[in-house]
Structure 1
C-alpha cells in the first residue's frame, strides 16, 4: 500500500467530483480527501426545471457542500482555482492559498458556449447554475405583469431547451409565444427515438414553434437574427434563453499546458491526463481517447467518478488501473408540469407515471444527507428508500 503524505485533491464538486469523493472515501475511509469548489451548494441540474415550476423546493435540488462532505469525513474548501503547477504538484487559488496534492482530480464542469456570436453574453439568459435560475425566474415573473404573447426564443433543441420550453409554457400559459431554434433537422438529435417522439408531441400539444435547420447570427436588445435556408431573418424578441451548447471551464490552465481535443482535456481510458500519472480529469471538461462520442451528461460524469474512485484505490494498492467502460442506462426528460418521458434498458414510459418515476430515480441519486434534513418533510426524500430496490432491479445505478 502506498503511503499518502499529501491529500487527494478534487477540484469541482458537480456530479463527477461529488461521486469520486464519496465513493473513494467509502472505499478507503482513512484517505485524506480535500474537495474544492467555487460555490457553496451542489446543484442537481436535472431538477432545476422543477425548481423553476415550483414542483419542488430549491433546497431539495441544492444541498450545501459543507453538510454533504462533513458528514462523510471529507474536507471542503470554498475557493476558486487560478493555476495548476503540475511540475510541483501545487494548486493556486484566488485568495492566494496554495495547496499541495499527491493525486489531483479536476472536474470543474462546463459553462455556456456563446460561439462568439455577437450579443449572446449581453442579451441572453442562461440556465446553467443558481444565479442563472434566479435571473430567469425574475425576468419571467416581471414579464408576466405586462402584455400577453411576448416573444420568447430558446436557442438549442437539446434536452435542456425542450424541458425549459415545456415548463415555461405550462407555468405561464399564453403569456409567451415560445420558439425553439435548433441548428439540425430535428430536436433531441442525440437522444433516444422514443423520447424524441414524446417531446415532439409535447411541443405540438403546447403549440410551441420549432425552427429547424436554423442558427443564430446575432442577438440585439430587441431583435434576434436567424439564418436558415431562406436566408437571414431579423425577428422581434422579448426574451432569449441560450441553451445552444457548453464549453469546458478551464480558465486556470495555460494554453499549451496539457493536451486538449475539441476544447476539452484529453485523457486515456484510465481517465489519466497524458504525461501526468497522478492527475485525472473527468466530467464535462474531459474527453476520453477513443470514446469521443460520449455525451456530456450526469450519467457519464457519475460513472466516471465511480470508476476513478476504484482506479485510485488500485493505485494506492500498487495495482494497475482499469479502463473505463460506459454503460448506457437510458435517459429521462421532463416534458412540462407533471409529465416526462423515460427510455431506459427495456423500458419506455411517458406521461404522469414517467414523471413520478423520474423524480424518484433522481431522488436516489441525490447525496444522502437525510440527517441534515430531519426537520423537513420533503416528499422526494420520504420516497427515496422505497425506490432503491426498484432502481437496483432495473439497473438505474
Structure 2
C-alpha cells in the first residue's frame, strides 16, 4: 500500500475491480500526466470469471487473484487500503473508514455490487457465497468434508444465472458423486440473459452431471440444514450457495444523487447526473438511456472509456457517449469444458474451454502477470 496526500489534484478511483483497474490502466498508459489514487479495501484483485478454475485447481491464486501491491506499484498508482464511508461532492472531499479525509479534483466511483438476499430469512446466517478467494477456500473445505461423509449429502445452489450454472457444473465434477446437487431458479429457465446456444449447452452439461434443476421455484427461508421452498416443500442440504442476485454497494453521498433502479444515475458519457467531475461505472451505476448488462465485459469497456472522459474533462473538451461493443459470452461448464458465443464463432467443449481461459488470461490487469500466466498455461506448467 502506498500513501497519498490529504489534499490532491489527483483523479481518485473508488474500487479496484474490473472497471476501476481498466480505468487506471488506460489513464496510466495514455495519460500518464494525470495522478491517480486508488481506494480499495481488499488486498487482491479478484478476476471473478476465473474463480471456478481457482476452485478446481486448474489455475493458481497468482493467476486469478494478483496482489494489488504489485499491480499498483507497476502502474505507478497510489493505493489506499481503506473504505469510503461518505462523499461530499460540493467540497470535493471524502471520508475513509480510518477517519482520514481526502480531497480530489476528479472522482470515479466503481465500488461494484454485493449479494442481495431480497430479505429472505436465514440467507445471511446459513449460506455461502462465491465472489472472492475466501469463498473459494470455504467451498473447498466443504467439498473435502462431503467427500469424507458416508451418508447421502446434498449441495444446493440458489440462482441459475451464469454464476449458479457455472458453479454447479464445476462442483459436480469436483464432488464426483459425493453429493447430490440441486440448482434452484425462481424464473422459468436457466441463464435467462444468455444466448440460445449457450443456454442449450448449459442444459446438456447440467443433465449430463445429474444436477437437479428446480425452475419456477422460490426460496422462502434458509435454515442450517434445510432450504424451504414455495409452496411448502423443503430440501435438506449440507451446504447452500446463494447466487440469486446482487445490488449496488451503497456509499452515502451529499447532496443525495439521483438513482436509476437502485444504482447511481449516470449520463451516457458515464458522468454522474448533475456533476461536473464525478463519474460512475460498473455495477454501481445505471443509465436511463441505455440497458448495459452488469458484466465484467461492460465494466472493462466502461473503464477504458471513462479514462478518456476524465482526460477530456481536464482539458475542457466535450465528453463522448459510451458505446458498448458486445463481444460475446463465455461460460465454464465443468472441468475442461466450456461454451462460447462471439469472437465470430459458436463453440462448446474442451476447445471452447481453452479459448475461454486464454482469452481471460490476456485480460488480467498488469501485462507482466498476464504474459506470465499465459506462458505457464501454454507450457503446461
TM-score by length of 1: 0.90
CA positional deviation for 1:254: 5.0
Match of 2:273 in 1: 274
1:75 aligns with 2:75: no
Partner of 2:236 in structure 1?
236
Tell me: CA distance 1:245–1:189, structure 2 relative to 1, closer, same or farther (3 Å): same
User: Aligned partners of 1:313 and 1:373: how far apart in 2?
Assistant: 28
**2:116 is the alignment partner of 1:113:** yes
Assess, with a 3 A threshold, how the Cα gap between structure 1 residues 274 and 130 changes in structure 2: closer, same or farther. same
Change (3 A) 1:254 1:371: closer
How far 1:235 moved relative to its partner?
2.2
Distance 1:128 1:196 in 2: 22
Cα separation, partners in 2 of 1:340 and 1:373, compared to 1, 3 Å: closer
- Range with greater deviation from structure 2 (196-205 or 338-347): 338-347
Native 8 Å contact 2:156 2:181 kept in 1: yes
Q: Indicate the residue corresponding to 2:93 in structure 1.
A: 90
- Secondary structure of 2:277's counterpart equals strand
- Structure 2 residue corresponding to 1:327, chosen from 325, 328, 332: 325
Deviations 1:326-370 (A, max 9, x none): 111101000000000010053101100000000100011012252
Cα distance, 1:373–1:301 mapped onto 2, change above 3 Å? closer
Q: What is the match of residue 18 of structure 1?
A: 21
What corresponds to 1:247 in structure 2?
247
Deviation readout 1:102-159 (Å, 9 max, x if unpaired): 0000101111101010000000000012222222222222222112541111000011
Counterpart contact for 2:157–2:182, Cα < 8 Å: yes
Superposed displacement of residue 210, structure 1: 0.4
* SS of equivalent to 2:28: helix
Number of residue pairs aligned between Structure 1 and Structure 2: 374
Q: Please state if 1:103 is matched with 2:106.
A: yes
Offset, 1:218: 0.3
Deviations 1:188-229 (A, max 9, x none): 0110111000000000111111000111000011211112xx
* Greater mean deviation of Cα atoms: 135-144 or 36-45: 135-144
- For residues 172 and 160 of structure 2, what CA distance do their matches in structure 1 show? 15
Structure 2: gaps of 5 or more residues: 1-6
* Aligned residue in 1 for 2:130: 127
RMSD, matched Cα:
1.9
216 and 80 in structure 1: CA distance in 2 versus 1, 3 angstrom threshold: same
Retained in 1: the 8 A contact 2:268–2:287? yes
The TM-score normalised by the length of structure 2 is 0.94
CA deviation string 1:221-279 (max 9, x = no partner): 1211112xxx22122222110000101111x3159711112211110101111111100
Matched, 1:352 2:347: no
Query: 2:223: which partner in 1?
Result: 220
